[in-house]
Amino acid sequence: MQVIFAPWRLDYILSDKNSESCIFCEMAEAEDDEAMLVVHRTRRSIVALNRYPYNNGHLMVAPSRHAGSLTELDDEELVDLFKTVRLCETALAKSIRPEGLNIGINVGRCAGAGVLGHLHIHVVPRFSGDSNFMTTVSQVRVIPESLSDTFRQLKSVFTVIGADNDSKT
């Protein structure tokens, strides 16, 4: 059996999953983007680094308004959300340079949603030889860069490419 030491995961494991607060609503309302790992905002969406990433550069895109599923979004929110996912693909290509991406939505606990009640889309950079997507059995993950370094790198790219993004208006 292989044992991997990942102390940063303990905060998540011990966190109150039944808390009334919503991390994505907190991110949307926060003023300190770096503390909340928010790398980009549009009028209707936020992009944040996953504090417990599956891979380096793992992003989450969420509507700014609390909504639990795609059916709860109006058309403008839905279009903005997916334009923002597309912008994430561009930002990751310019910064992390992955060989591929996994883009996914988990709605409901049985579907694997770690945060219930606030829809979010995972954008996970993939590299040859990395571990399985959304690991369910014991596998190894190597995250080669700190969250703060990844934040600074992506924030600067989003600042440049996000300025011309249609979803920002």
Burial of 28 (0-12, 13-18, 19+ CB in 10 A): buried
What pLDDT sits at residue 15? 54
For the chain, give the mean pLDDT: 82
Provide the pLDDT confidence category of residue 64 given band limits of 50, 70 and 90: very high
Give mean pLDDT, residues 129-140.
51
Is the pLDDT score of 27 beyond 80?
yes
The per-residue pLDDT for range 67-82, each reduced to its tens digit, is: 999 999 999 999 999 9
Is the pLDDT score of 50 beyond 50?
yes
Delineate the domains of the chain, giving CATH numbers in brackets.
23-127+139-168 (3.30.428.10)
Give mean pLDDT, residues 31-37.
95
Q: Which two tokens stand for residue 31?
A: 């003023």
Of residues 130 and 161, the one with the higher pLDDT is 161
Q: Which positions are annotated as active-site residues?
A: 120
Give mean pLDDT, residues 21-25.
91
Dist. CA 15–CA 69, nearest whole Å: 23
- The whole-model pTM stands at 0.75
Dist. CA 48–CA 27, nearest whole Å: 8
Is the pLDDT score of 110 beyond 60?
yes
Residues in Cβ contact with 141 at an 8 Å cutoff, skipping those fewer than 6 apart: 4, 6, 54, 55, 130, 131, 135
Of residues 103 and 145, the one with the higher pLDDT is 103
DSSP letter string, 54-100? SSTT-EEEEESS--SSGGGS-HHHHHHHHHHHHHHHHHHHHHT--SE
What pLDDT sits at residue 94? 95
Dist. CA 84–CA 116, nearest whole Å: 21
Of all residues in the chain, the percent with pLDDT exceeding 70 is 75
What pLDDT sits at residue 103? 95
Dist. CA 109–CA 126, nearest whole Å: 24
